[in-house]
């Protein structure tokens, strides 16, 4: 009987080479020695961890690696080629890396100084793809363009550059691109969507960049659409981008105000006080000049009015468009009677995001559901006029395709209403974001009563909406409603084909926003009680702790997530929780007590991976793990990976050694501005190295 070992090595190598998922390859390499050697010979992508000073630890068995990531080496954020704990010659370390990975053409590196870039590009002059990472500030003493001169002068084959997580000055880049016309003309991907920018690229700088890079296919840039600022982006800039780079297939133009992951004012109706200098005629000409577009993001942060007619042109001018995100666009779908208009005519869309549209209504959502019948992902944020009925009807229309949904900052859609609105796809949805707004949550406790009353009161409402769009469509939807609504029991519509089912069978990823001081415990009662396949959850806690009274409950409610049996990964983001890091005024809690509130009960979860962003004190740029937080994290006995996006004292980190199988821990100050004082006991390279040495000395059972 033939086995997989009887397959010729050439065929096995091709099979291994076709597997791109890192975890799958890791598992395969453990099957046998033969599989391990095949994995090493065919692996093309590798992320290095460990301490940069340990030259003997650099692996030399991955000779086929072409994509190398050095941005997570320890100590994180310190200069790669000048470790303060070693006298190693930077040139020697770079040489050892080149010898170990001779085939590298794609490089990601944390470049704290231009010296790092200069030395590394000398080792791999044939680089085609480069991603630079830096959260520390750029020194004012460096000459303009110092970070990019060596890169563009020595890497003549460069065609892909990502600066989205690299802090620099906007005036650094255009002169270097103009001075290296050959490399600039070969660039096809340029990501300048840098989140740490205060104002973004000016109009003239965008014109200079696109003129120097006429062959761009992917262009992402942070800019400013506010007409009150000098160099704002308007009609002239949009037309320049379309004229200079007609081959674009992916374009992101985002106002810097939209890049911050902060929830907007819930009382804002979606309109800003100023209008962007973007007209309907310019939008039509802009779309006409980019016929190859497949993905478009226009998040302008200022009002763009009456856009329905312009958006209709997308369907005819950009026939390959599949992904669209619009921010602060109004009048995108008028939904007059049964006639489709505006964005609803973009029938090829597969992903759609609508943000801060002040006049989007339920009828508009229904029209989008009718016209954009291929949508697999839909996001709606800051749209105050839509309700549960419209979104639920849209979900019915898109039942066969929609698997990812985000509902955020919509006044009429609290947590329970958001969950009810996606009930038609409950058995299909895989990715979901909602806001944990518990309007009257104490009345939701009896889920049976709520489910029944909801259904009896609401099931007929969609038909009244449909009747406004024509009798033929109304008749069809009534027929479908009758088909799927055969039984009412236990608070849900139970159906043979599983249309209304109690379980969220395929939900794998859940994202939540919650205001500081609120509790997480009502989540199951709101409708997320049975999620058998939920593997990963992200929780964003936001708000100002200063001036708030002590929470009435002892714990935030993480222990309530223990009812999800497969939950193993968590991202707990408290980075936008503001408070007092040191001494709080009388009667208030400092951040250490708030961390105790947030993390209490986390040890009851069976987490294997955790990303944690501590709360911050903006006045002193302080994001640090507190003593209570370290003690509570140490109770997560099944953790394998722990990444703390902030700082911590060395003796607090030693608490984590109590976790028996913890293998990967790192402090990452990946926020701007990252702390510069490297002599602090919270971020010394020596402290990080001693902790890692203690971690690596332990015996791991598996």
Query: pTM value?
Result: 0.88
Task: Round to whole Å and give the CA distance between 471 and 478.
Answer: 10
The stretches of 468-574 forming alpha helices (DSSP H) are: 471-484, 523-526
Residue 372 near residue 346 (C-beta atoms within 8 A): yes
If one counts every other C-beta atom within 10 angstroms of the C-beta of residue 646, the result is 24
* Residue 476: partners with Cβ closer than 8 Å, 6 or more residues away: none
Say how many residues make up the chain: 702
Q: Is a pLDDT exceeding 50 seen at residue 424?
A: yes
Q: Is a pLDDT exceeding 70 seen at residue 485?
A: no
Residue 172 near residue 209 (C-beta atoms within 8 A): no
Q: Name the pLDDT band for 134 (thresholds 50, 70, 90).
A: very high
Q: Name the pLDDT band for 676 (thresholds 50, 70, 90).
A: confident
Per-residue model confidence (pLDDT) at position 599: 97
Q: Give me the torsion for CA of 346, 347, 352, 356, rounded to 10°.
A: 40
Could you give the 3-state DSSP secondary structure of residue 667? strand
Per-residue model confidence (pLDDT) at position 86: 52
Task: Round to whole Å and give the CA distance between 362 and 387.
Answer: 6
* Residue 601: partners with Cβ closer than 8 Å, 6 or more residues away: 555, 556, 557, 558, 559, 560
Q: Give me the torsion for CA of 601, 606, 611, 614, rounded to 10°.
A: 10
Per-residue model confidence (pLDDT) at position 49: 87
Q: 26 vs 378, which has greater pLDDT?
A: 378
| 310-314 contact pairs (CB < 8 A, 24+) | 310/280, 310/283, 310/284, 311/283, 311/342, 311/343, 311/345, 311/346, 312/341, 312/342, 312/345, 313/283, 313/284, 313/287, 313/288, 314/287, 314/343, 314/345, 314/346
605: tokens are 């979860």
The per-residue pLDDT for range 353-367, each reduced to its tens digit, is 999 999 999 999 999
Looking at domain 1-43, which CATH architecture does it have?
Up-down Bundle (1.20)
The per-residue pLDDT for range 558-573, each reduced to its tens digit, is 999 999 999 999 999 9
Residue 604 sits at the vertex; the CA angle it makes with 603 and 610, to the nearest 5 degrees, is 50
Percentage of the chain surpassing pLDDT 90? 66
Per-residue model confidence (pLDDT) at position 541: 96
Task: Round to whole Å and give the CA distance between 61 and 170.
Answer: 40
Q: 86 vs 631, which has greater pLDDT?
A: 631
Q: Is a pLDDT exceeding 90 seen at residue 396?
A: yes
Task: Round to whole Å and give the CA distance between 658 and 128.
Answer: 44
Angle between helices 33-42 and 22-29 (to 10 degrees): 140
Question: Considering only CA atoms, which of 159, 71, 157 is closest in space to residue 117?
Answer: 71
The stretches of 406-446 forming alpha helices (DSSP H) are: 415-421
Average pLDDT, integer, range 484-499: 39
φ, ψ for residue 11, nearest 5 deg:
-70, -40
165: tokens are 């997580």
Q: Name the pLDDT band for 629 (thresholds 50, 70, 90).
A: very high
Q: Name the pLDDT band for 643 (thresholds 50, 70, 90).
A: very high
Average pLDDT, integer, range 84-110: 85
Q: Name the pLDDT band for 140 (thresholds 50, 70, 90).
A: very high
Look at the block and give the residue holding tokens 């790192």. 666
Q: Is a pLDDT exceeding 60 seen at residue 398?
A: yes
Per-residue model confidence (pLDDT) at position 264: 63
Question: Considering only CA atoms, which of 65, 27, 21 is closest in space to residue 43?
Answer: 65
Q: Is a pLDDT exceeding 90 seen at residue 683?
A: no
Q: Name the pLDDT band for 405 (thresholds 50, 70, 90).
A: very high
Per-residue model confidence (pLDDT) at position 28: 84
Q: Is the peptide bond before 675 cis (omega within 30 degrees of 0)?
A: no
Q: Name the pLDDT band for 497 (thresholds 50, 70, 90).
A: very low
Per-residue model confidence (pLDDT) at position 27: 85
Helix (H) and strand (E) counts in the chain = 23, 22
DSSP state of 6: G
Q: Is a pLDDT exceeding 60 seen at residue 248?
A: yes
Q: Name the pLDDT band for 81 (thresholds 50, 70, 90).
A: confident
Q: Is a pLDDT exceeding 50 seen at residue 555?
A: yes
Q: Is a pLDDT exceeding 60 seen at residue 468?
A: no
Per-residue DSSP letters for 263-329? ---TT--S--SSB-S--HHHHHHHHHT-TT-SEEEEEEEEEE---HHHHHHHHHH-TT--EEEEEEE
The per-residue pLDDT for range 320-333, each reduced to its tens digit, is 999 999 999 999 99
Angle between helices 9-17 and 33-42 (to 10 degrees): 60
Most confident of 40-44, 79-83, 87-91, 353-357: 353-357
Per-residue model confidence (pLDDT) at position 443: 44
631: tokens are 């003690």
Q: Name the pLDDT band for 542 (thresholds 50, 70, 90).
A: very high
The per-residue pLDDT for range 204-219, each reduced to its tens digit, is 999 999 999 999 999 9
Per-residue model confidence (pLDDT) at position 384: 92
Residue 370 near residue 397 (C-beta atoms within 8 A): yes
Per-residue model confidence (pLDDT) at position 482: 37
Q: Is a pLDDT exceeding 80 seen at residue 380?
A: yes
Q: Is a pLDDT exceeding 70 seen at residue 266?
A: no
CATH class given for the domain over 535-697: alpha beta
Q: Is a pLDDT exceeding 70 seen at residue 507?
A: yes
Q: Name the pLDDT band for 99 (thresholds 50, 70, 90).
A: very high
If one counts every other C-beta atom within 10 angstroms of the C-beta of residue 538, the result is 16
Percentage of the chain surpassing pLDDT 70? 88
The per-residue pLDDT for range 169-187, each reduced to its tens digit, is 999 999 999 999 999 999 9
Question: Between the CA of residue 463 and those of 162, 373, 418, 424, 479, what are the distances in Å?
Answer: 49, 19, 20, 15, 10
Most confident of 14-28, 160-174, 257-271, 679-693: 160-174
* Residue 243: partners with Cβ closer than 8 Å, 6 or more residues away: 289
Per-residue model confidence (pLDDT) at position 677: 64
Per-residue model confidence (pLDDT) at position 1: 67
| Cross-strand pairs, 112 | none
> With helix as H, strand as E and coil as C, how does 168-228 read?
CCHHHHHHHHHHCHHHHHHCCEEEECCCCCCCCECHHHHHHHHHHCCCCCEEEEEECCCCC
Per-residue model confidence (pLDDT) at position 621: 84
Residue 363 near residue 465 (C-beta atoms within 8 A): yes
Q: Is a pLDDT exceeding 90 seen at residue 448?
A: no
Q: 253 vs 462, which has greater pLDDT?
A: 253
Domain map (residue ranges) of the chain: 1-43, 46-151, 535-697
The per-residue pLDDT for range 19-54, each reduced to its tens digit, is 888 888 888 888 888 888 888 889 999 999 888 777
Per-residue model confidence (pLDDT) at position 45: 93
Average pLDDT, integer, range 405-424: 95
| Cross-strand pairs, 378 | 352, 405
Average pLDDT of the residues of the chain: 87
Average pLDDT, integer, range 466-477: 44
Pairing of strands 492-493, 488-489: antiparallel
Residue 44 near residue 67 (C-beta atoms within 8 A): yes
Per-residue model confidence (pLDDT) at position 682: 63
Q: Name the least confident of 32-46, 407-421, 467-481, 482-496.
A: 482-496
Most confident of 445-449, 599-603, 620-624: 599-603
Question: Between the CA of residue 370 and those of 307, 343, 395, 464, what are the distances in Å?
Answer: 19, 11, 10, 16
Per-residue model confidence (pLDDT) at position 218: 98
Per-residue model confidence (pLDDT) at position 195: 86
Residue 85 near residue 688 (C-beta atoms within 8 A): no
């Amino acid at each position: 009987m033939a086995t997989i070992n009887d397959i010729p090595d050439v065929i096995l190598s091709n099979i291994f080479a076709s597997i791109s998922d890192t975890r799958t390859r890791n598992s395969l390499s453990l099957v046998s020695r033969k599989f391990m050697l095949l994995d090493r010979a065919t692996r093309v992508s590798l992320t290095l961890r460990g301490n940069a000073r340990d030259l003997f630890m650099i692996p030399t068995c991955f000779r086929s690696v072409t994509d190398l990531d050095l941005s997570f080496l320890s100590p994180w954020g310190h200069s790669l080629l000048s470790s303060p704990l070693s006298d190693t010659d930077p040139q020697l370390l770079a040489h050892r890396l080149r010898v170990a990975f001779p085939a590298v053409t794609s490089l990601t590196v944390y470049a704290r100084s231009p010296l790092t870039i200069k030395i590394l590009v000398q080792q791999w002059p044939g680089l085609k793809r480069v991603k630079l990472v830096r959260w520390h500030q750029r020194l004012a003493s460096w000459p303009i363009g110092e970070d990019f001169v060596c890169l563009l002068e020595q890497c003549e084959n460069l065609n892909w550059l990502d600066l989205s997580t690299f802090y620099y000055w906007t005036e650094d880049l255009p002169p270097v691109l103009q001075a290296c016309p050959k490399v600039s003309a070969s660039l096809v991907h340029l990501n300048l969507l840098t989140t740490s920018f205060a104002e973004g690229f000016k109009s003239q700088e965008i014109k200079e960049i696109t003129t120097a890079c006429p062959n761009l296919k992917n262009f992402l840039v942070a800019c400013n659409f506010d007409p009150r600022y000098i160099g704002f982006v308007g009609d002239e800039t949009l037309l320049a981008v379309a004229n200079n780079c007609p081959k674009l297939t992916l374009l992101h133009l985002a106002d810097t105000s939209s890049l911050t992951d902060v929830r907007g004012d819930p009382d804002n109706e979606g309109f800003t006080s100023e209008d962007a200098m973007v007209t309907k005629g310019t939008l039509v000409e802009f779309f006409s000049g980019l016929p190859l577009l497949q993905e478009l993001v226009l998040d302008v942060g200022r009002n763009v009015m009456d856009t329905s007619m312009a958006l209709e042109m997308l369907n005819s001018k950009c026939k390959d468009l599949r992904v669209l995100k619009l921010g602060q666009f109004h009048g995108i779908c008028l939904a007059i009677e049964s006639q489709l208009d505006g964005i609803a005519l973009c029938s090829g869309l597969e992903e759609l995001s609508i943000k801060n549209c002040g006049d989007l209504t339920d009828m508009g959502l229904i029209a989008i559901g009718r016209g954009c019948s291929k949508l697999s992902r839909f996001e709606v944020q800051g749209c105050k006029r839509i309700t549960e009925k419209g979104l639920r009807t849209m979900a019915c229309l898109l039942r066969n395709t929609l698997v990812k949904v985000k509902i955020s900052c919509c006044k009429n859609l609290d947590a329970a209403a958001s969950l009810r609105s996606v009930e038609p796809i409950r058995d299909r949805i895989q990715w979901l974001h909602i806001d944990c707004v518990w309007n009257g949550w104490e009345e939701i406790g009896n889920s049976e009563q709520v489910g029944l009353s909801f259904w009896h009161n609401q099931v007929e409402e969609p038909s009244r909406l449909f009747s406004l769009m024509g009798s033929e469509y109304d008749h069809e939807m009534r027929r479908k409603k009758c088909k799927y609504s055969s039984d009412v029991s236990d608070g849900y519509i139970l159906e043979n084909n599983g249309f209304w089912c109690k379980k969220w069978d395929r939900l794998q990823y859940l994202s939540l926003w919650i205001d500081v001081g609120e509790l997480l415990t009502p989540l199951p009662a709101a409708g997320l009680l049975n999620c058998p396949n939920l593997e990963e959850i992200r929780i964003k806690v936001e708000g100002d702790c200063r001036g708030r009274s002590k929470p009435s409950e002892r714990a935030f409610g993480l222990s309530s997530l223990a009812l999800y049996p497969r939950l193993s990964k968590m991202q707990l983001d408290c980075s936008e929780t503001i408070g007092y890091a040191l001494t709080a005024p009388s009667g208030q809690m400092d951040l250490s007590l708030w961390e105790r509130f947030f993390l209490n009960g986390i040890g009851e979860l069976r987490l294997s991976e955790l990303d944690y962003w501590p709360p911050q004190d903006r006045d002193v740029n302080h994001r640090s793990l507190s003593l209570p937080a370290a003690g509570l994290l140490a109770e997560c006995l099944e953790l394998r990976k722990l990444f703390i996006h902030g700082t911590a004292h060395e003796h607090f980190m030693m608490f984590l050694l109590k976790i028996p199988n913890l293998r990967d821990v790192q402090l990452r100050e990946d926020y701007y501005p990252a702390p510069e004082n490297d002599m602090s006991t919270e971020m010394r390279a020596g402290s990080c190295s001693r902790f890692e040495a203690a971690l690596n000395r332990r015996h791991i059972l598996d």
